[in-house]
Structure 1
Amino acid sequence: MSGNEFRFFLSCDINLPVTFRVERLEGNLPAAKTLDSEVDSTAEVRRPELYVECTLYIDGAPFGLPIRTRLEFTGSSYCWNELITLSTKYRDLTANSQLAFTVWDVSCGKIEGLIGGGTIHLFNMKKQLKTGKHKLRLWPGKEADGSIHTTTPGKVPKEERGEVERLEKLVNKYERGQIQRVDWLDRLAFKAMEKIKERESGRNGSSHLYLVVDFCSFEHRVVFQESGANFFIPSPIAATNELVTVWDPEVGKINPSEHKQLKLARSLTRGIIDRDLKPSSTERKSIQRILKYPPTRTLSGEERQLLWKFRFSLMSEKRALTKFLRCVEWSDVQEAKQALELMARWEMIDVCDALELLSPVFESEEVRAYAVSVLERADDEELQCYLLQLVQALRFERSDKSRLSHFLVQRSLRNIELASFLRWYVAVELHDPTYAKRFYCTYEILEENMMKQLGAGVTGNEDGFKLWQSLVRQTELTAQLCSVMKDVRNVRGGTQKKIEKLRQLLSGLLSELTYFEEPIRSPLAPGILIAGIVPSESSIFKSALHPLRLTFRTAIGGSCKIIFKKGDDIRQDQLVVQMVSLMDRLLKLENLDLHLTPYRVLATGHDEGMLEFIPSSSLAQILSEHRSIISYLQKFHPDEDGPFGITATCLETFIKSCAGYSVITYILGIGDRHLDNLLLRDDGRLFHVDFGFILGRDPKPFPPPMKLCKEMVEAMGGAESQYYTRFKSYCCEAYNILRKSSNLILNLFHLMAGSNIPDIASDPEKGILKLQEKFRLDLDDEECIHFFQDLINESVSALFPQMVETIHRWAQYWR
C-alpha cells in the first residue's frame, strides 16, 4: 500500500455488547496460603484459587456492576477460555473508557487475598478500538484503579519490554490480518518464537505478573467519533505511511430508497400479479445463468429480485428452489410464510440440493426439515457417502434434538454399518466443548433407540442390546490398543526391540487380545467380525509415532490388516479418503472405472484412529530396488508379447489409476506429495496416502498442480507414446465427469465448515472458494479438455519439484 493511499473506517456507532476473553495469567504467583492462617508452618498448603474481577470505567467512573470469573489451573498455568459479555454496548463507550482487572486469591476460605490489578484503555492514542491479544502488567498488592489518571496502568513499561514483547506485538498484528500469511514460513517463525520465549523466561525469571486479555475483532477497524467532530484528509504532500482514519456514517447502512422499492416489489398485493408473470427471453437467459451458479455464489440484489418476481413460474424447475430460498427475507413473517407454502408445492429437489439446505446459510427449521424429508429417499449406500457431513451439519441445527438427528438415528437402526459409523462420528466430536452437549444428545438417542430394538441389524436375529454392546466393545478395543502402544513407545532401543515387545504384549500379559471372548465388529468394516489379533504377523512402522500394523483373524477364518495410530489427528485423512470413495462412485456411475483404492479410514478420537492396510510399496522404494516402475511390474505380470514386457491389463490399470489420482489430487488441492506417499500395488494400481495438506496448502515452495513425476510418464512409454495420450484422455474424461457433480462436492465441504479439520477450520470460506476455482465452472467441456491438458504438461515439465524430491530423498536417507 502506498503512502498516499487512504482507507475509510467504521465509526464507533456499533449496536453490539462489549465482549472480550480473559485468556491466561503469566508470571510467578506469590507463595500459596495455608488452609488456616493461624495454623503453624506444618499446615496443609493449597494451590491458589484465582478469580478475576473486571469493571468497566467510563470517564473515570465505574459503569455497571463488576464481573467476576474464575481462572482454571490447567497443570502449568491459569487459563480461562470463555467469552465475557458486558451489558454495555460499544456505542455507549467514550474515548476514555477503560477496563480494570483485579486478581484475587480466595483459596484461604476466610479473607480474600489481593494478588494485583491493572487497567487497560479500550481505545489507543489514535482513538482506534483495540483488538486481539494484549498483555496487562498487574501491580502486586494493588486493586485496579479505573480513574482517568490511573495509578495501575496495564501497559508494560518500555524499560521492561524485550524481544518477547516485540514478537507478541507482531503476532497480534498477524492474527488481525495486518501481516500476510505464508504457511510454510509461519510455521518456522512460530517455532523460533517458542524457543526465544523459553530462553528469555529461563534467563530472566521475571517476578512480574501479567494478564493476557483477548479483545474481539471486526471486519473493519473501529474508530471513535466525537459528536459533531470534523475529519479531514491531509494533503498527499504531508502524508506518511500511517493509515488515515476517516469517519463515514453511511458505511454498512441500507439505502432507504432501495429498501422501500424492495418492500413495495414484494408486497402482498404484488403476489397476485406475479402468479401469471412469465419471463421474457432476456430474463429467461438471466435466470438460467443464475441457476448454474455454484452454491457458494452470493446473489446480487437484482438477481434476488428477478427470482422472486418469477417465483411462481419457476416452481416446476427443481434446481431453482435453493436459489429462490436464498432470496427470501426471513425476518419478514408474511414473506417467510409465503416462501414455505411455495416450497411445499415445488418440484421435488435432488439429494445434492437437499445437502445445500442443511448448510449454515439456511436457519429456518421448516427448510431444514424439508431437506431431511428429501434425504429420506436416498438408499443406505448413498447415505453412507454423506454421513460424515450430515453429522457435522448437526452444528447448524436450532436444537439438540433436531429432525436431522432423529433421521440419522432411525436410518442407523436398520443398518449396522450406518449405526457403527454414526456412533464413531458423534463420539469423536464430544471433544468439541462448544457442541459436546449436542453430539452427546445424539449419542444418547442412538443408544436408547438401539437398545429398544428387537431383531435389528445385519444378521436379523440379534436384539438391539447385543448390537449396542458389540459397538461399545469397539471402544474398549481401541483403549486397549492405546495402552499397548504406550508400553511399546516406552521401550528403549530400535524398532526391532519395540516389535518384540509388541508381540509379547499381544500374546502374553494381554492375552485377551489374541483371542476375543466374543467376536467384535471391525470399526473399519462393521460387517466383518474379528476374533483376535495374530501376534506373529503384527509389527510397527518405522516412524516417530510408531503406528501399529495389526493382523486380525476374522470369525469366518480369514484375516484383515489395519494400521492403528495414536498421537496424530487423522480426521483430515478420513475426509479426503471419503471424497476419493465418493468420486470413485461418481465415475463408475458414468461407466468409468479408474481402479482407485479408497482404503478405509476411521478417526476414533481427536488424536487416534485406524486405517486399512493395503499391501503395496512406495515409489521411492520401488525406484531404489528396481530402478523403474516397469521393472517392478514385470516381476509380477510378465508378458513377452505385452507392451514393455508386462500384461496389457496391468499397464491399463496403472494408467487409469494414475489418471484418477491426478485429477482428484488436483481438485482437492492435496499437497506435500513425494515418492514416499505415492504407493503402488503389485497389480498396477497406484494410490496416494498421507493427506496432511489439502485445499492448496503445501509445505514445499512452488508445487506443481498435480503430482506426476517423470518416472510415471516413463512407465507409460514417454510423453510421445500412445499410452501417455490415453492417460491424458482418461484425465480429461474424469475431470469433466466430476465437474458435473461440482455442486455436490462443494455442498459437502460447506457442511464441514464448522469442523475441527485443520485446513478447513483455519479459513472455511477461503478453502471452499479454492475448491470451487479448481472446477473451472466458467469453461465448457471442450475448453476444459484443453485447460487440463495444459495443466498436465505444466506438471510434467516442472523441474523445481524434481529438485525438491531429491532433497527429500536425502532427508529420508539420513533419518
Structure 2
Amino acid sequence: MAGSNGERFFLSSDINLPVTLRVESLEGDLQRYTEATLKNATDFALAEHSPVPDLFVECSLYIDGVLFGLPTKTRLAPIEKPYKWNEMITLSAKYRDLTATTQLTFTVWDVSYPRQEVAVGGASFRIFSKKKELKTGKQKLRLWRGRIADGAVVSSTPGKVPKHERGELERLDKALNKYERGQIERIDWLDNLTFKAIDRIKEEESKRIGQKNLHLVVELLSFMHPVAFQVCCDDLVLQSPRHQLVVIPDPEVGRQNPCENKQIKLARHVTRGVIDHELKPSITDRKEIARILQYPPTRNLNGEERQTLWKFRFSLTGEKRALTKFLKCVDWSDATEAKQALELMHKWTTIDIADALELLSHAFESEEVRGHAIDVLERTGDEELQSYLFQLVQALRFERSDKSRLANFLVQRAVHNTELANFLRWYLNVELADVVYAKRFWLVLEHFNESVAPPMAALLHHQSELLAKLCTIARDVKNVRGNLQKKIDRLREMLQGIMNELTSFEALPFPLDPTIMLIGILPAESSVFKSNLSPLRLTFRTVEGGKCRVIFKKGDDLRQDQLVIQLITLMDKLLKSENLDLQLTPYRVLSTSHEEGMVEFIHSTPLAQVLAENKTIIQFFKQFHPDEEGPFGISSPCLETFVKSCAGYCVITYILGVGDRHLDNLLLQQDGRLFHVDFGFILGRDSKPFPPPMKLCKEMVEAMGGMDSQHYSKFKMYCCEAYNILRKSSNLILNLLFLMSGANLPDISSDPEKGVLKLQEKFRLDLDDEEAVQFFQTLINDSVSALFPQMVETIHRWAQYWR
C-alpha cells in the first residue's frame, strides 16, 4: 500500500508469514548464583565446581497477555564466552494474527546444575511500537536477573529500559538500530569515524560502571517497507513524511459490498439448483476440492473455497468426506440457503464416525446438523461407542440446550449397558467441577440417575461410597510423618481397624473395568508408593476368586493420562484390525474427580531399575526366559515381543508428541513388553531441553542386537507399517482431540487449534505411503544417530536428558 505522500508500507493483517527472529548473544557479566538461589546447599557446592554454565534461551509469544502456542527453545550456547546462539526461531503465529499488545518473552536458563534449571534472567518485549509500527532489526533487551519473563499486558519484566533510566549506552544502541534499519542516512567516511567513537565510549562506560546488567541481543525480521498494525477493518493506515504512522477512520473500508453480496445471493439462489445439479468439476476443480478435503477440522474456509464447494455441492453428495466441509460453507443466517443445505445433507452418502464426531464440535451450531451426527452414532455398537464416550461427554459443552439430543442418546444407550453406565456416570461426575458448564452436566447426570434401573443405581452408589472411603485413607496416609514403612503400616492398620468394612463387602463393579466384580481389599497385599502424593497400591478380591490390583491417587489430575491411554487403546485396535499386534499395554486409567482417580497396576519394573540391577535388558530377560539356542540366550518370543512393543510405543509417542521421557517412566514386563507411563507432557511440550524426536534410548537398541542386527531391521519395519496404518485413521484421531478443546487440559486448552495442527503435522498427510516410509526411516536413523554422538558437547546434552 501507499500512504498520502506516496511512500509504501505493509499492513500486518496482510502478512501471511510466521513470526521469525534470531537469538544472537548474551552481553554482560554472568554472575553465578548464591546458595539461596539454588534449591539446596548441595547444588551450591556442586555449582562452585562448575564454572562454565550451559545456557539456552526459551522464547514465548503472548497475545493480549495469553500464551499462544508452546515455548520454543534454542540449543545450548557454546561453552566459551561470549555466549552466542545465532539461532533462527520460527513461531507458530503469523504476523496477521498479532494484536497491538503482542509480546515476545525471553528467558535465559542455566542447566549446568545437577537437579534443576536456574533462570539467569528474563525480558518481555512488545512487537509493535506505541505508534503501532512493527519493530524490526536488532533489539538489545535488558534481562531481569533471576526472573522468568512474563507476558502480561503490563509486564513486570520489560526488556526496554525506561527513558528516565537510559544512559549514553542505551542512546547509542537505539541510534545504531535506526542506522541498520536505514532510518539514518549512510555516509561512509563519517560512519567509520562514528563507529570508532562509539566503540571507545562503550569501552569507557563499561570500565566506569562495570557490566552489572545483562542484555540479550535478538534480531527481528525486517521487511522492504514499514509494517503498520491494522487496528480494525474500518481504519486506514497512512504514513506521514517523517516515517510516522497515522491512523484515520475510513467509513468505506470494511463495509459489505452490495454488488458482491448480490452476486453471492444470485449464485446461491435456490432456483439455480437445477443448473448447479448438472455441474461437474473439471480436473483443476477436482484437485482444488481434494486439497480442501484434506484440511484438518480446525481449518476455516476462505471465500473462494466456500464458493467452490457450494458450486459443486450436488456432485459431491457421493463423497462422504465432503459433507463436513460443505456444511462449513453454508450461510446459516440465510433461511433459504440453510433449508437447501439441510435437504441436501439428508441425501448425502452415509459419513464415517470420524466425520460425525466433527459435526458435534463447536464449529457446528445447527441442531439438525448435530442431530444428523447422532443418526450416524446410533448405528454403532456399544463397544465402539465406548471408545468415543469420553469425547462425546465433552461435546455436551457445545450443545444449544441442556436436554439435547446428544444427552438423550448417551443416557438411553447407557441405561441398557453396565459398562457404558459406569463410565458415563464417572465422566459426568468429573465435569461437575467445570464452573461454566457445571449446571449442564448436572442436568444430564440427573437425567441419567432418573433413567437407570434401581439395581444398577445402587451399585453405582456403592462405588461412590468406596471411593469416598479410599479418599479418607489416602489423606490420612499422606499426612503420616516418617518413612515409607510407617505410611504402609498406617494403611494396613486402617484397613484392619476403622475401615475394616472394606476388607469384605457386597459385590460391586470395578470402576476401571465394570465386567469385574469386587468383594473386598486384602490389607496384607496393599502398600504405598514412594512419592510426594503417596499413592495407594490396593489389592482387591474378585467374585471369581482372583485378585485385582489398582493404584489410587489423591491430589493428581489424571484426565490427560486418561486421554492418552484412550488414544493408545484406540490405536491398538486400529493396528490389530490390520493384523498388526504390537504387544501394547494400554492399561486402564479413570479420573473420578479433578484431583483423584484410579490406575490399573501392571506388574513391571522401571527401565532405570532394570539397568541398575542387570546392566543390560538382555540380562533381565535371561532371568525369566533363558534359551541357549535363542537369540542372545533368551527365547525368540520374548525378544519378538520386546521389539514389537518398542516399535508400537515409538510410533504412538511420536504422533502424540509425548514428552518428559526418561528411564523411570519406561516400564518393562517379564514377558518382554515395554510400555510408557506418566503423560503429563503431550503435543510436543517437554520439561527438558533438546528432547529426542523419537523415544528410543540406546539400551533398547542394544537389546535388539545393535543397528546392524536383523531384529533392529524388524523394529524399523514394524514402525513404518504401524505409521502408515495410523495415518489412514488420522481424521478420527484429530477429531477426537478437537472435541477435547473445552476440557481444560493443560496441553490442549491453551491453544486447541494449534494442538490439532501439531498432531496433524506428525501424520505428514502430504506424503504417500512410500514417502511416509522413507520419512519415518529417516526419523528413526536421526534419533538413533543422536544416541551415539561423537562430540563431547552433544554427549553432555543427551546425558542431561536421560539423567
Alpha-carbon distance between aligned partners in 2 of 1:289 and 1:629, rounded to the nearest angstrom:
47
1:287-340: CA deviations, max 9, x gaps? 333334333333332222122112122222222211211111111100000011
Alpha-carbon distance between aligned partners in 2 of 1:424 and 1:746, rounded to the nearest angstrom:
24
SS at match of 1:542: coil
1:147-202: CA deviations, max 9, x gaps? xxxxxxxxxxxxxxxxxxx99998999xxxx999xxxx999828999xx99xxxxx
Partner residue, 1:601: 589
Alpha-carbon distance between aligned partners in 1 of 2:713 and 2:761, rounded to the nearest angstrom:
26
Alpha-carbon distance between aligned partners in 2 of 1:543 and 1:172, rounded to the nearest angstrom:
44
Contact 2:270 2:340 survives alignment (8 Å): no
- Code of the residue aligned with 2:341 in structure 1: it is A
SS at match of 1:752: helix
1:226-253: CA deviations, max 9, x gaps? x9x9964245x766xxx87676766655
Alpha-carbon distance between aligned partners in 2 of 1:605 and 1:186, rounded to the nearest angstrom:
40
After TM superposition, the structure 1 = structure 2 runs for residues 708-719 of structure 1, keeping only pairs within 5 Å, are: 708-719=696-707
Alpha-carbon distance between aligned partners in 2 of 1:221 and 1:396, rounded to the nearest angstrom:
34
Distance 1:316 1:268, change over 3 A: same
Partner residue, 1:636: 624
Alpha-carbon distance between aligned partners in 1 of 2:100 and 2:730, rounded to the nearest angstrom:
42
CA offset at residue 532 of structure 1? Answer: 1.0
Alpha-carbon distance between aligned partners in 2 of 1:265 and 1:238, rounded to the nearest angstrom:
45
Partner residue, 2:406: 404
- Code of the residue aligned with 2:277 in structure 1: it is R
1:507 is aligned, of 496, 503, 507, to 496
SS at match of 1:521: strand
Alpha-carbon distance between aligned partners in 2 of 1:487 and 1:604, rounded to the nearest angstrom:
19
2:516 is aligned, of 521, 528, 551, to 528
Partner residue, 2:471: 482
Distance 1:130 1:735, change over 3 A: closer
Distance 1:5 1:796, change over 3 A: farther
Contact 1:307 1:327 survives alignment (8 Å): yes
Partner residue, 1:344: 346
After TM superposition, the structure 1 = structure 2 runs for residues 671-682 of structure 1, keeping only pairs within 5 Å, are: 671-682=659-670
Distance 1:261 1:709, change over 3 A: same
Distance 1:130 1:302, change over 3 A: closer
Partner residue, 1:157: none
- Code of the residue aligned with 2:239 in structure 1: it is I
Distance 1:532 1:301, change over 3 A: same
SS at match of 1:580: helix
Partner residue, 1:573: 561
After TM superposition, the structure 1 = structure 2 runs for residues 288-367 of structure 1, keeping only pairs within 5 Å, are: 288-367=290-369
Distance 1:744 1:186, change over 3 A: farther
- Code of the residue aligned with 2:556 in structure 1: it is D
2:647 is aligned, of 628, 650, 659, to 659
Alpha-carbon distance between aligned partners in 1 of 2:674 and 2:364, rounded to the nearest angstrom:
41
Alpha-carbon distance between aligned partners in 2 of 1:310 and 1:436, rounded to the nearest angstrom:
43
Alpha-carbon distance between aligned partners in 2 of 1:424 and 1:187, rounded to the nearest angstrom:
44
Contact 2:361 2:395 survives alignment (8 Å): yes
Contact 1:6 1:244 survives alignment (8 Å): no
Partner residue, 2:507: 519
SS at match of 1:594: coil
Partner residue, 1:275: 277
Aligned length: 606
CA offset at residue 513 of structure 1? Answer: 1.3
Contact 2:238 2:247 survives alignment (8 Å): no
Alpha-carbon distance between aligned partners in 1 of 2:8 and 2:692, rounded to the nearest angstrom:
36
- Code of the residue aligned with 2:604 in structure 1: it is S
CA offset at residue 359 of structure 1? Answer: 1.0
1:539 matches 2:527: yes
CA offset at residue 282 of structure 1? Answer: 3.0
1:623-662: CA deviations, max 9, x gaps? 0000001111111111111111111111110001000000
Alpha-carbon distance between aligned partners in 2 of 1:310 and 1:533, rounded to the nearest angstrom:
64
Contact 2:122 2:146 survives alignment (8 Å): no
- Code of the residue aligned with 1:729 in structure 2: it is M
Q: TM-score, normalising length from structure 2?
A: 0.71
Alpha-carbon distance between aligned partners in 2 of 1:190 and 1:478, rounded to the nearest angstrom:
42
Distance 1:261 1:809, change over 3 A: closer
SS at match of 2:591: strand
Alpha-carbon distance between aligned partners in 2 of 1:307 and 1:425, rounded to the nearest angstrom:
38
Contact 2:667 2:674 survives alignment (8 Å): yes
1:559-597: CA deviations, max 9, x gaps? 110001111111000000000000000000111000000
Alpha-carbon distance between aligned partners in 2 of 1:231 and 1:318, rounded to the nearest angstrom:
45
Contact 1:540 1:548 survives alignment (8 Å): yes
Unaligned 5+ segments in structure 1 are 11-127, 133-165, 198-219, 451-463, 811-815
Alpha-carbon distance between aligned partners in 2 of 1:699 and 1:222, rounded to the nearest angstrom:
37
SS at match of 2:549: strand
Partner residue, 1:51: none
Alpha-carbon distance between aligned partners in 2 of 1:588 and 1:188, rounded to the nearest angstrom:
50
Alpha-carbon distance between aligned partners in 2 of 1:613 and 1:622, rounded to the nearest angstrom:
18
- Code of the residue aligned with 1:616 in structure 2: it is S
Contact 1:675 1:805 survives alignment (8 Å): no
Of all paired residues, the percent bearing the same amino acid is: 63
Contact 1:9 1:246 survives alignment (8 Å): no
Alpha-carbon distance between aligned partners in 1 of 2:406 and 2:482, rounded to the nearest angstrom:
51
1:738-792: CA deviations, max 9, x gaps? 0000000011011001111110011111111101111101110000001001111
SS at match of 1:431: coil
Q: TM-score, normalising length from structure 1?
A: 0.70
1:233 matches 2:233: no
Contact 1:565 1:609 survives alignment (8 Å): yes
Unaligned 5+ segments in structure 2 are 1-6, 14-98, 104-120, 129-133, 157-227
Contact 1:129 1:224 survives alignment (8 Å): no
Partner residue, 1:550: 538
CA offset at residue 553 of structure 1? Answer: 0.7
Distance 1:338 1:223, change over 3 A: closer
1:752 matches 2:737: no
Contact 1:552 1:561 survives alignment (8 Å): yes
- Code of the residue aligned with 2:318 in structure 1: it is S
- Code of the residue aligned with 1:337 in structure 2: it is K
Contact 1:703 1:801 survives alignment (8 Å): no
CA offset at residue 683 of structure 1? Answer: 0.4
After TM superposition, the structure 1 = structure 2 runs for residues 72-91 of structure 1, keeping only pairs within 5 Å, are: none
- Code of the residue aligned with 2:490 in structure 1: it is K
1:775 is aligned, of 752, 758, 763, to 763
Alpha-carbon distance between aligned partners in 2 of 1:510 and 1:191, rounded to the nearest angstrom:
48
1:493 is aligned, of 482, 492, 495, to 482
CA offset at residue 704 of structure 1? Answer: 1.1
- Code of the residue aligned with 2:603 in structure 1: it is P
Contact 1:363 1:397 survives alignment (8 Å): yes
CA RMSD of aligned residues (A): 3.3
Distance 1:257 1:550, change over 3 A: same
- Code of the residue aligned with 1:550 in structure 2: it is L
Alpha-carbon distance between aligned partners in 2 of 1:748 and 1:251, rounded to the nearest angstrom:
40
CA offset at residue 807 of structure 1? Answer: 4.0
Alpha-carbon distance between aligned partners in 2 of 1:186 and 1:381, rounded to the nearest angstrom:
56
- Code of the residue aligned with 1:416 in structure 2: it is T
Contact 1:357 1:371 survives alignment (8 Å): yes
Distance 1:394 1:172, change over 3 A: farther
Distance 1:246 1:785, change over 3 A: farther
Contact 2:11 2:230 survives alignment (8 Å): no
